[in-house]
Amino acid sequence: MNVLIDTPIWSLAFRHRPVQTDNMQDIYVDELRELINEMRAQLIGPIRQEILSGISNEAQFQKLREHLGAFEDLTIHSEDYERAAECFNLCRSQGIQGAHIDFLICAVAERYNIPIFTTDKDFSLYASYLPISLYQLR
């Protein structure tokens, strides 16, 4: 089954890491590497934009852009944006705030019926009210 990879996971993989790293970070990066090798890692345009945003060094931007170019974006339809708004409204009615991009990720993952691989704890809250699944490390 394919897996939608959220920005924090990609960021861990592309971050310049010090000599001593957090073991959990290594586990997440290793899992992403496995998903990529298995051709199961999926990306959407808004996550691509988040990953590339804020990189002021042009050479680093181009290198990262090239790496991400290996991944074709899942198609996002108008219905996904509408569903994202419904997800936002539902969660807000339950006292859960979230970013619009998060709810778009939820809507796309729901439509494609794929889990979301993230370290963002907000997604656990969303999953209490939305029909999404979160990817579990092997």
Judged against a pLDDT cut of 70, whether residue 49 lies above it is answered with: yes
Residue, of 18 and 109, whose pLDDT is higher: 109
Judged against a pLDDT cut of 80, whether residue 59 lies above it is answered with: yes
User: Which residues are bridge partners to 134 per DSSP?
Assistant: 116
Res. 79 pLDDT band, cuts 50 70 90 = very high
Q: What is the pLDDT of residue 54?
A: 87
Domain ranges of the chain: 1-138
Q: What is the pLDDT of residue 18?
A: 57
Res. 118 pLDDT band, cuts 50 70 90 = very high
Taking a C-beta distance cutoff of 8 angstroms, is the pair 4, 115 a contact? Answer: yes
Mean pLDDT of the chain: 95
Contacts of 42 (CB under 8 A, 6+ apart): 2, 3, 4, 5, 71, 74, 112, 114
Question: How many Cα atoms sit within 13 Å of 1 on the Cβ side?
Answer: 13
Class of domain 1-138: alpha beta
